[in-house]
């Protein structure tokens, strides 16, 4: 499986994916740490990919997503953005709504 197929497979398998440096438990970059924290605070169930442990994905994802930096958040296979956008979505309440949508829960 080539690297783009591996990226697609991860996105197909997990509705919310954070490509980050390090892990949510041991983030290796402040931006990645902040994005993971915002997702946790939004009660989002997410899959994290440590790009430092996968140099192939680290090199390919910026081209795949047309987004130059990490972290990168994808929901339902679509790029949402990096740390700044994730924090903005958290602050507005939108991230909670998106996580509930993915979980199929009502939030009327
Ligand atoms: N403003 C960006 C900050 C992210 C950023 O600048 N990340 C850097 C440092 S971790 C990066 O990914 N550089 C390219 C690389 O290391 O491959 C965001 O909102 O995510």
Interface ipTM: 0.97
**Of 77, 56, 80, 71, which is closest to residue 3 (Cα–Cα)?**
56
Residue 105: what pLDDT?
Answer: 78
Q: What is the position in ligand 1's atom list of the atom closest to the CA of 82?
A: 20
46, 57 contact by CB (below 8 A): no
Rounded CA separation 15/47 (Å): 8
Long-range contacts formed by 63-67: CB under 8 A, 24+ apart = 64/4, 64/7
The protein residue with its alpha carbon nearest to ligand 1, atom 1, reads 84
Rounded CA separation 95/38 (Å): 8
Residue 1: what pLDDT?
Answer: 87
Please give the distance, rounded to the nearest whole angstrom, from the Cα atom of residue 30 to the centre of ligand 1.
9
Sign of CA dihedral 35, 36, 40, 41: negative
87, 34 contact by CB (below 8 A): yes
Pocket test for ligand 1, best of 21, 37, 70, 80 (most atoms within 8 A of CB): 70
Please give the distance, rounded to the nearest whole angstrom, from the Cα atom of residue 70 to the centre of ligand 1.
4
Q: What is the position in ligand 1's atom list of the atom closest to the CA of 35?
A: 20
Residue 99: what pLDDT?
Answer: 96
* pLDDT one digit per residue (tens) for the chain, 108 residues: 899 999 999 999 999 999 999 999 999 999 999 999 999 999 999 999 999 999 999 999 999 999 999 999 999 999 999 999 999 999 999 999 999 999 987 665
């Amino acid at each position: 499986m080539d690297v783009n197929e591996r990226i697609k497979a991860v996105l197909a398998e997990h509705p919310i994916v954070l490509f980050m440096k390090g892990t949510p438990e041991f983030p290796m970059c402040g931006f990645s740490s902040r994005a993971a924290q915002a997702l946790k605070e939004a009660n989002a169930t997410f899959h994290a990919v440590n790009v430092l442990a996968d140099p192939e994905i680290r090199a390919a994802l910026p081209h795949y997503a047309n987004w130059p930096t990490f972290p990168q958040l994808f929901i339902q296979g679509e790029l949402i953005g990096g740390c700044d956008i994730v924090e903005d979505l958290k602050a507005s309440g939108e991230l909670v709504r998106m996580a509930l949508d993915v979980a199929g829960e009502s939030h009327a």
